[in-house]
Amino acid sequence: MQMTTLRQDFLFLALFAIAVLTMPIWLDPLGANYPDLLQKFAIYGIFAIGFNILFGLTGYLSFGHAAFLGVGSYAAVWAFKLFSMNVVPALLLAMIVAGLFSAAIGYICLRRAGIYFSILTLAFAQMSYNLAYSVLTPITNGETGLQLSLQDARILDRTFGIDATGGIPFPNFFGLTMGGYGGFYFCAVLLIVCFFIALRIDRSPFGMMLRAIKSNQNRMAYTGFNTRPYAMTAFIISGMYAGLAGALLAATDPLAGAERMQWTASGEVVLMTILGGAGTLVGPIVGAGVIKYFENIFSAYNEGRLHAIFSFLPDGLENFFVTVTTPFVGEGWHLTLGIAFMLVVIFLPGGLMEGVRRIRSLFSRRKSKPEQAELAPAE
Amino acid sequence: MKLFNVNRRRFLRGSVAAGAGLALPTIFTSASRAQGYCNEPTGSSVVLGFNVPQTGPYADEGADELRALQLAAKHLNGEGDGGMLNTFTGSQLQGNGILGKKVEYVTGDTQTKSDAARASARRMIEKDGALMITGGSSSGVAVAVQSLCQEAGVIFMAGLTHSNDTTGKDKRRNGFRHFFNAYMSGQALGPVLAESYGNDRRAYHLTADYTWGWTQEESIKATTEQLGWETVETVRTPLGAGDFSQYITPVVNSGADVLILNHYGKDMVNSLTQAVQFGLREREANGKDFQIVVPLFSELMAQGAGEAIKGIYGTANWDWKLENDGTQAFTKSFGQEYGQPPSQAAHTCYVQALLYANAVETAGTFNPEGVVEALEDLEFDGLGNGPTLYRGADHQCFKPVLVVQGKEEPQDKFDLLEVVREVPTEQVTYDPSIFGGELGDVNGQC
């Protein structure tokens, strides 16, 4: 295993922070520089980091993580309705509720491993989805989704005399409104904090335990460790990350709908993690970015836009290229994503991060030799 | 181990980087706030957002809506034969764009999910500078996008959405609906059912278990019970159930003689087909022929259900076979462009686009405040439905509702529904206060 010093970690973190905070600049040429998508990058980045703590480290493949995202969103919108339009109570409540919810589900599901665990989590998530969609409509407002309204209680806001005048107020962080670029920088800072926590977990003895669960649970049990509390902790942490992401979704766009919990949403985070590279720190965030980019940018291309792109070509060739590319953009964006995913899984089983690693090793082949000498002898 | 090895040079370098990072956000705040209203168009063109389901259960409706909206953009720019621009009475539109600005559009995929629809609408507003969002084929999405547009300060012209909530308890000042709703369906369908099936029927409801299904069931139940019908039972079915046999079997021995299917889309296709396969329509109960009713019909669903829809009653917003100038002009130019007649989803989106453009021309500005004022209590004609009122109190259109029946001998796959009656506007009009909700103020600021 690669050992890193604390200083290297901080350097890594600093680079990561710069990359995240300058997203509006370097994403501009890609057409992705607008607040909503930037917010989605940061929020789904948090979701994917959290998922990776469970899946990447312990190897437990949860197919129901969207349930925690949805629960977080509902909790956050209720906090906006009942307490305050400030995001702090909403984020806290969402993380607590998602944590409790994941403790309950984890307590049952973690009794099984492998495919049985995946199916159990999937079943619970689908159950939550159906409950939210119809049975629990008084709490979730069903299909329409839970929304803010002018008549909301907002107890804290009212007591402090911050009252809504003219229209429904927007969630804010002590005055910084959560829409637009303000919302993005707020989410970005939380992403960096979450990344730092994940980094510390990854490097800690606790992280080592989680990896041990992944490599061989029986062997770990024979050495005298009870594995379940470790897996359970990872599951809850990961659930709280999802809850935080859900709360941020609700904060930047105050509406919580049931389809956030659907199995396709759970599958999406699995895709993000595998596409980027399960078990790596940055991979899941990259994967989340790629998928959200496809979903928002590729789906918006229509024939008119394609004609504009290929207009530099002669007429016949232009029409040919437009015909060839049309099935892959607009309503066909799923197809493009599917092909990209297959290519990554086939040629880069370790995700996009493996690609980065391979390229890096090409440039530093000479340096790689002494590494073998560093292998420590077994005790 | 020492964490940071700070010397003067490193300190300076670090503080410069930190300062630059902190100053960065300010470059985005200056330009965007300088406008009079959100996305004020400054060039020679104006951008509209066409947000329709391109994937998922309502992709067929979405594709048809997009065709109609693209056609509307063409007609507004003076290309093609002009369609309903020629029949729209009291119109200010001249076929030179809107206020002389060329109409451009951006498209997006709602996936029939509130989140995806809102993300797509926000992209159109924030990135592409769209001034108006239209389209959509589900009430959940319509309500979600409507409240987003209210917050974002642009106009929302709803597409196909039938729930009472869109212009009821979830109505917004920036949102408008041309399509009819579940309450109107009930009011229109009731008398026709009484005439055909009598006043002492026993009804059994199967209802899709979500907001739209419930409002639909409530409305139909209220009207049929007024007629003297008895409701035997109302059963909720999960959305997208696929197999409805377990819900249909109990109907046979329930003592009911009418089955009302409050389903839409694929659910309706499946439940109706299965009910017919179970031989319900050949049965007799209480000495009467057993009947099935589907309150909300659409051509695309009728195509899916095939033979099963013959003779079944339902309601529709519009049908391409109506004999008025607007309908004929629209059907003709849609047919020339795409080689098939338009669906009611296509019609409502086309009309919404024209109404928005006309309101902008009337107001002389794209400012939502002016546009809302121009649309509220607007009376117009020539858009296929006869004289229509855009009621200011809840932003709902009032116009005749069609009662349709599945044709016994259809000519082709576009000729599946027969218009039995045009129920006059007075019969479907209601007091806006019955559904609650508040419009709030117009919002034109980003």
What is the count of structural domains for chain B?
2
Residue A333: list chain B partners with CB under 8 A. Answer: 109
**CA angle, B156 then B157 then B159, to 5°:** 125
- Distance in angstroms (rounded) separating the CA atoms of residues A256 and A258: 7
For A:136-165, CB contacts with B below 8 A are 137, 141-145, 147, 149-150
Mean pLDDT, residues B113-136 taken together: 91
User: Tell me, what's the pLDDT at A302?
Assistant: 77
More confident residue, A138 or A123: A123
Split at pLDDT 50, 70, 90, the class of B18 is low
A359 has pLDDT over 70: yes
Query: B202: which DSSP letter?
Result: E
Q: Are residues B97 and B209 in the same domain?
A: no
What is the count of structural domains for chain A?
1
Nearest CA in chain B to A28: B127
Residue A345's contacts (CB-CB under 8 Å, 6 or more residues apart) are A274
Residue A33: list chain B partners with CB under 8 A. Answer: 127
Domain extent, residue A158, equals 31-262
Q: Are residues B74 and B163 in the same domain?
A: yes
Residue B144: list chain A partners with CB under 8 A. Answer: 144-145, 147, 255, 257
Predicted model pTM = 0.85
User: Tell me, what's the pLDDT at A76?
Assistant: 96
Average predicted confidence (pLDDT) for chain A: 88
* Tens-place pLDDT, residues B219-261: 999 999 998 999 999 998 877 777 899 999 999 888 899 999 9
Residue A29: list chain B partners with CB under 8 A. Answer: none
Of A202-206, B209-213, B222-226, B372-376, give the lowest mean pLDDT range.
B209-213
Residue A255: list chain B partners with CB under 8 A. Answer: 114, 118, 144, 147-148
- Compute the nearest-CA separation of B305 from chain A (Å): 25
Q: Are residues B53 and B175 in the same domain?
A: yes
Would residue B140 count as lying in a domain?
Answer: yes
Would residue B424 count as lying in a domain?
Answer: no
Residue B32: list chain A partners with CB under 8 A. Answer: 180
For A:97-126, CB contacts with B below 8 A are none
Beta bridge partners of B389: B379, B398
Residue A18: list chain B partners with CB under 8 A. Answer: 17, 21
User: Tell me, what's the pLDDT at A6?
Assistant: 82
Q: Are residues B68 and B142 in the same domain?
A: yes
Q: Are residues B234 and B136 in the same domain?
A: no
Last residue of a domain, one of B359, B377, B399: B399
Of A158-167, A183-192, B277-286, give the lowest mean pLDDT range.
A158-167
A201 has pLDDT over 80: yes
User: Tell me, what's the pLDDT at A81?
Assistant: 92
User: Tell me, what's the pLDDT at A166?
Assistant: 62
Split at pLDDT 50, 70, 90, the class of A2 is low
Q: Please name which of A302, A313, A260, A244 lies closest in space to residue A102, comparing C-alpha atoms.
A: A244
Mean pLDDT, residues A216-241 taken together: 93
A251 inside 8 A of chain B by CB: no
Q: Are residues B201 and B291 in the same domain?
A: yes
Would residue A16 count as lying in a domain?
Answer: no
Q: At what angle do helices A35-52 and A227-252 cross, to 10 degrees?
A: 170
- Distance in angstroms (rounded) separating the CA atoms of residues A46 and B225: 53
* Tens-place pLDDT, residues A253-301: 888 888 889 888 999 999 999 999 998 999 999 999 999 998 888 888 8
User: Tell me, what's the pLDDT at A134?
Assistant: 81
Q: Are residues B311 and B247 in the same domain?
A: yes
A37 inside 8 A of chain B by CB: yes
CB B342 within 8 A of CB B68: yes
B23 has pLDDT over 60: no
Whether A300 sits inside 8 A of B106 (CB atoms) is yes
CA B264 → CA A224, B132, B406, distances in Å? 58, 27, 16
- Compute the nearest-CA separation of B79 from chain A (Å): 16
Average predicted confidence (pLDDT) for chain B: 88
Q: Are residues B235 and B307 in the same domain?
A: yes
Q: Are residues B324 and B305 in the same domain?
A: no
Last residue of a domain, one of B316, B344, B359: B316
Last residue of a domain, one of B299, B316, B333: B316
CB A258 within 8 A of CB A145: yes
Would residue A323 count as lying in a domain?
Answer: no
Closest Cβ opposite residue B119 in set A36, A330, A334: A36
Q: How big is the A-B interface in CB pairs under 8 Å?
A: 136
A295 inside 8 A of chain B by CB: yes
Closest Cβ opposite residue A36 in set B122, B139, B446: B122
Domain extent, residue B341, equals 45-180+320-399
Which of A62-66, A177-181, B307-311 is modeled with the greatest confidence? A62-66
Give residue for tokens 């909720």. Answer: B236
Nearest CA in chain A to B4: A7
Would residue B345 count as lying in a domain?
Answer: yes
* Tens-place pLDDT, residues A125-147: 999 998 998 888 889 887 778 88
Would residue B422 count as lying in a domain?
Answer: no
User: Tell me, what's the pLDDT at B94?
Assistant: 87
| Token pair of B213 as six digits | 């299904």
Closest Cβ opposite residue A147 in set B21, B147, B212: B147
> Best residue in B115, B128, B263 to probe A by mutation, most A CBs within 10 Å?
B115
* Tens-place pLDDT, residues B142-201: 999 999 999 889 999 999 999 998 999 889 999 999 999 999 999 999 999 999 999 989
| Token pair of A218 as six digits | 């029986």
Nearest CA in chain A to B22: A21
A20 has pLDDT over 50: yes
Percentages helix, strand, coil for chain B (3-state, rounded to 5) are 45, 20, 35
User: Tell me, what's the pLDDT at B30?
Assistant: 41
CB B354 within 8 A of CB B367: no
Closest Cβ opposite residue A35 in set B1, B24, B126: B126
| CATH number for position B304 | 3.40.50.2300
B27 has pLDDT over 50: no
Mean pLDDT, residues B404-423 taken together: 89
Where does B198-256 have alpha helices with state H?
211-227, 245-252
